[in-house]
Chains A and B, each alone.
Chain A
Amino acid sequence: MAIKSQADFFSGVMFMVIGGVFAIGSTNYTIGDGARMGPGYFPLMLGILLALLGAAIVFRSLVVETPDGGRIARWAWKPLGFVLGANLLFGVLLGGLPSIGLPAMGMIIAIFALTIVASMAGSQFRLRDSVLLAVVLAVGSYVAFILLLKLQIQVWPTFISG
């Protein structure tokens, strides 16, 4: 049997798997009955429902014709990697990573790292432009978040500010 909609087929499989995992996971908790619902009752019901819906979507994807075969677009690994990478790098630099002994580097350094790495996700990357943008964003964030909103964020690296 041929898959008539890739997008539907894979989303259906995704729903089936997630529903199944939740349903099986919820059996670790007390299920109880209607009058005395345990913590596992509602998730078990929903998990089964989600798995059934997923199965129905998979079935449809094998039966119903879709105009373009429901083709999944090419995965854009480059923007995916750079955007999420920039975000993770920001977290690591801002908060530090005690497990590898990296101290917190503070907001300003984290902003420069995020802006430059995130810019690489686009089709044209110019270092000069991203550094300029980073300067603008760093100054803007300092004024908005630290001076005006008074958020509790570490601004400079631990070894400078102590």
Chain B
Amino acid sequence: MDFHLFQNLATGFGVAVSWVNLLYCLIGCILGTLIGVLPGIGPVATIAMLLPATYALPPVSALIMLAGIYYGAQYGGSTTAILVNLPGESSSVVTCIDGYQMARQGRAGPALAAAGLGSFFAGCVGTIILAAFAPPLTELAFKFGPAEYFSLMVLGLIGAVVLASGSLLKAIAMVVLGLLLGLVGTDVNSGVARFSFDIPELTDGIGFIAISMGVFGYGEIIGNLSQPDTEREIFTNKVKGLWPTGDDFRKMIPAVLRGTALGSSLGILPGGGALLSSFASYALEKKLKMAPGELPFGKGNIRGVAGPESANNAGAQTSFIPLLTLGIPPNPVMALMVGAMTIHNIQPGPQVMTSNPELFWGLIASMWLGNLMLIVLNLPLIGMWIKLLKVPYRLLFPAIVLFCAIGVYTTNNNTFDVWMVAIFGFVGYVFLQFRVEPAPLLLGFILGPMMEENLRRALLLSRGSWSVLVTRPISLGLLIGALALLAIVLLPSVSAKREEAFVED
């Protein structure tokens, strides 16, 4: 810990503790909790929806709010998982298993508290790690040339694919499809409009918001509506006595610590983030030896709530590291953050820390404040969110459709985007039917133009020789990393485990 860290954090808090930024942080956290609690709408769709509305805000406030939505959703997701046995957020899938059982035994309060306190601790640690690791990684990033960037993006995309669920081949194909869609529009080098069919709006490329809202927003809604209504038992009236017992604390503290460590490290990985962290943490807790008299997993073990919930929040925080230091988004939410930064003319990458120190450290400081707000929002004020769970989906989804439509329209104040979102809504539903995971597509879409540009520069410098990608040591290392990831996943024993991990329970 050097002196600069404290100085930087002081700068950050100076920015974050202004009335405006505190307000936007609070709005982000409330919205995040809201969509976390509501099943069927996630941070990707919400951030996409709000992107246009952030045009008018100062860049720091905009990013503070959008970040709040992401980590706020991790808090809110656990509430629904515990009380309704539905994952409010995909990263809360495993929380359902033991959390809901605890609620059935009348212990919803301690389960909610374990999730909330664990998330808070993990969020604080994640923020400190982000603050401590960002500067050295940024130093490293300045040594990167185009070849290194290209290889890093290959590693990032492979990482995202390997760690995603479902078929590996299909996920890679989705990445490539995303890269191709990202190339639609005017080529910056030659000025040629590619694949734009002489449609003026398409020469600017396909709208990122249209694609993400269509595929994630509309695609999901149509998928949800096509399933028969399920009867669900809601334990909303039985939340009394939030505070866990001493015995609960003894069990959950080690689980929180393990979850935090696991989540923080997995969040940094390309392709990592909240979802992967929670799965990994649950698997770890399950493997550890049981204390005598402890409830088995799946029957309401508090460790099965505390571990994954800490892990997903830690992972959510540290997944900002690749974005802020290298400018490479490790998951779709971070891809949207790239979009948000571009709207405000900020090129994500290592230069952000030096050129916009207020933005960089202000965002980090706001995360700590945001976590503080969230613990208040989610424990003492839990009753408010429980009421929300009683709103039926048939009233909810038309509202979501409306917000998507307004959000898309206001991006350019042009109805063309409204037609595009309908097309991608259909495409998203086709993806769902064909069982292809849409997340890798979005990452590819964001990285497409960046990859092409870096490859072009790298090959220009090497006079067309592809060997530049393997003769430069850092680039070679990154490519070997990507190959190793692929090889590990393709090993028969691992691939069987991987399928198991995503299918389980």
Contact = CB atoms under 8 A, between A and B. Distances in A.
Interface of A: 7-8, 10-11, 14-15, 18-19, 22, 25-26, 29-30, 33-40, 42-43, 46-47, 49-50, 53-54, 56-57, 60, 70, 72-76, 79-80, 83-84, 86-88, 90-92, 94-95, 107, 111, 114-115, 118-119, 121-124, 129-130, 133, 137, 141, 145, 149-153
Contact of B183 (A14, A43, A72): A43
Which of B218, B223, B401 has its CB near the most chain A CB atoms (within 10 A)?
Answer: B401
21 contacts: A15-B173, A29-B194, A33-B464, A37-B455, A43-B194, A60-B169, A72-B433, A76-B226, A79-B222, A80-B426, A86-B405, A91-B415, A91-B419, A94-B415, A111-B402, A115-B402, A118-B401, A119-B394, A119-B398, A133-B395, A151-B52
B425 A35 contact: no
A72 B183 CA distance: 30
A22 B398 contact: no
Nearest to A92: B415
Interface stretch (B11-19, B174-182, B241-249, B303-311): B174-182
B496 interface: no
A101 to B, nearest CB: 16
A118 B190 CA distance: 43
Could you say which interface size class chain B belongs to?
35 or more
Contact of A22 (B195, B222, B465): B195
B419 A114 contact: no
A35 B325 CA distance: 29
Nearest to B413: A152
B429 A80 contact: yes
A87 B409 contact: no
Given A34-B464, A122-B393, A149-B56, 18 more contacts: A11-B435, A18-B180, A29-B187, A36-B464, A50-B173, A73-B433, A83-B222, A84-B422, A84-B426, A86-B405, A91-B418, A118-B398, A118-B401, A119-B394, A141-B406, A145-B53, A151-B410, A152-B413
B409 A118 contact: no
A22 B180 contact: yes
Contacts of B252: none
Contact of A83 (B167, B187, B425, B435): B425
User: Top 7 nearest A-B pairs by Cβ distance?
Assistant: A76-B226, A35-B464, A91-B418, A34-B464, A79-B225, A95-B415, A11-B434
Nearest to A76: B226
A80 B222 contact: yes
B425 A90 contact: no
Contacts of B415: 91-92, 94-95
Contact of A87 (B53, B194, B394, B422): B422
A7 B176 contact: no
Contact of B170 (A11, A37, A123): A11
Given A18-B180, A79-B226, A149-B53, A7 B409 contact: no
Contacts, number: 202
Contact of A91 (B393, B397, B405, B456): B405
A88 B195 CA distance: 24
A72 B394 CA distance: 25
A129 B398 CA distance: 11
B409 A94 contact: yes
B434 A30 contact: no
Nearest to A123: B229
Nearest to B223: A76
B237 interface: no
Contacts of A107: 406
* Interface secondary structure of B, over-half rule: helix
B399 interface: yes
B229 A8 contact: no
A118 B398 CA distance: 5
A122 to B, nearest CB: 4
B412 to A, nearest CB: 11
B398 A130 contact: yes
Contacts of A72: 433-434
Given A84-B426, A88-B418, A91-B418, A79 B402 contact: no
A119 B396 CA distance: 9
Contacts of B1: none
B142 interface: no
Given A43-B194, A47-B180, A87 B418 contact: yes
A22 B39 CA distance: 37
Contacts of B401: 83, 86-87, 114, 118
B189 interface: yes
B287 interface: no
B421 interface: yes
Contacts of B167: 8, 57
B459 interface: yes
